[in-house]
Amino acid sequence: MKHNILTSTKHTLLALGVASALGATTAHAAASERMIVTLKQESMANALPVALSQAEMADFKSQSLELFANDINAQAIKTLPNINAVVMELTPEQLKQLEADGNVATVEVDPKRFVPEAIDASIAPFAESTPYGITMVQAQLVSDAAAANRKVCIMDTGYHRDHEDLVSVGVTGDDGYGSNDTGLWHNDGHGHGTHVAGTIAALGGNGTGVVGVNASGNLKLHIVKVFNDSGRWAYGSDLIEAINQCEAAGANVTSMSLGGSGSSTAERNAFDQSYQRGMLHIAAAGNGGNSALSYPASYDNVVSVAAVDSSENKASFSQYNSQVEIAGPGVGVNSTWNNGGYRSISGTSMATPHVSGVAALVWSNFPQCSNAQIRAALNATAKDKGAAGRDTSYGHGIVQAKAAYDYLAQSCGGGVDPAPVANFTFSTSGLTATFTNGSTAGTYNWTFGDGNSSSQSSLSHTYAQAGSYDVTLKVTNSAGDFDTVVKQVTVEDAVTPPGCSGLSAWSASTFYRVGDRVSYKGYEYKSTWWSRGAQPDIFSNVWNKVGKCN
């Protein structure tokens, strides 16, 4: 019956506005790029003559998306029905067609995601020991007897199921397939995923190896092998698919010791929607030792994890920025390895499973609490380090399991004055910036970087001259606790300065191809990637700064 439903509706898709009415076009031999094409919601929300189950609707959307790809003579590498998107290799000619299609919401490069480079240290002895990080995050002070009611989904290089210090029964997983054929999930030819799993759930009390945050063996695990045995990069669209696999397996927490530069609207939307459905996503801030944003960690609905050493100081390699939310032990972390032994390595990859393991640990004791309440509890009770309140190096501080447990015991944290969380978004028009407050309740203090300030909740501010300004928002609750966030805001004169040597000024609405040249803020830039809306002074992976204008 399902097949008949899909077949009977296939020939009406163009009339319903699901697929593009562009007509057949031969794909040229020009260089193509892997892109995510997202269709507008109204293009996919069509009334059908029969009711479909959720699975049937997903199949219907997948077929609709494949037909859309076929309509421009492109092949659908994969369909992402949850977000109305399809991944395709597109030529410049096909991209031009999509620009004129009213059904298309966004067309963007499918960003690459990597296993961060880990820093090797010593091989551990086989006698059981408790790594310093387990004590630092207070894991041994909270019982994990109820851990079976939570499941952590680990997106990584796989899981060495035969390791004597890891659970082998009841662990589930998904393999990559198609263009992302990563091999069997229960085989880890790299070691990174097995190391992460050991920090989360290495067995305690067995007289060997190490102890994980959840050491009883009760915590449920689901493994999605997004990287192959050599740790080769994956795409953002692979993570979108992995989110669905995690949810389908019944996971509550994702642990993502991975990342890459370049954000994706489709990827961001997938994490946002999953978070709204109750998942808690946790990812590594990155090992670049700089202030660059790494994704998916830097999306608002993903917890970005920084790394500290055994002395609770920020690791030199740990990335620092306004999206860093919390910190965990990440230097010289001893855990399980894919050769059946153990290895001590460093990275925000090692800090991330400490936080995801603690999230599952405390949540298992309070399953009635929401993902947002668990997240708030971890932030409110983190051990403050660095500048008072939230800062760019440690976020709210080092995750603390027992403190979060005690906090949640008060009606999921509702019985105590919650710690404030400062956040805002902004848009600019000429010299005016409009700020939208996304913070928790409290009193607000804005400083705009030009000597002016305000205590309003949300507002607009007009600067006297063009430039970049550090805008700070401080939020204080009734108990006197406060949190701050700083973001750089750039405003420009309404009149765009002339270009370099006759070049046009960069425009956010123009689609650029490889080799295009523009002027921007007094400099000439050359495009190295197809883009639209990628600001030249921010997206260095898309634009190459050629030189200063005459």
Strands 220-225 and 151-156: parallel
Using DSSP's 3-state secondary structure scheme, residue 204 falls into: coil
Q: Provide the sign of the torsion angle of the four alpha carbons 387, 388, 394, 398, taken in this order.
A: positive
Is 42 in a helix, a strand, or coil?
helix
Structure tokens at 293: 């944003």
Residue 250: other Cβ atoms inside 10 A: 12
d(C-alpha 445, C-alpha 518), whole Å: 39
Q: In what order do the strands lie in the sheet with 342-346?
A: 119-120, 342-346, 333-336
Q: Whole-angstrom Cα distance, residue 530 to residue 295?
A: 19
- Catalytic residue at 356? no
**Vertex 283, ends 282 and 286: CA angle to 5°?**
155
Sign of CA dihedral 280, 269, 303, 213: positive
* Angle between helix 54-70 and 2-10 (nearest 10): 30
Q: Is residue 297 a contact partner of residue 317, using CB atoms and an 8 Å limit?
A: no
- Catalytic residue list contains 192: yes
Catalytic residue selected from 32, 264, 349, 527: 349
Check 71, 144, 156, 483 and give the catalytic one.
Answer: 156
Half-sphere exposure of 158 (CA within 13 A, CB side): 26
| Residue in 190, 192, 281, 354 annotated catalytic | 192
Residue 454 designated active-site: no
User: What residues have CB less than 8 Å from 98, skipping those under 6 apart?
Assistant: 20, 37, 72, 90, 104, 107
CB under 8 Å to 403, separation ≥6 — which residues?
Answer: 138, 381, 382, 383
> What would you report as the CA-atom Rg of the chain, rounded to the nearest whole angstrom?
24
* Residues known to be catalytic: 156, 192, 349
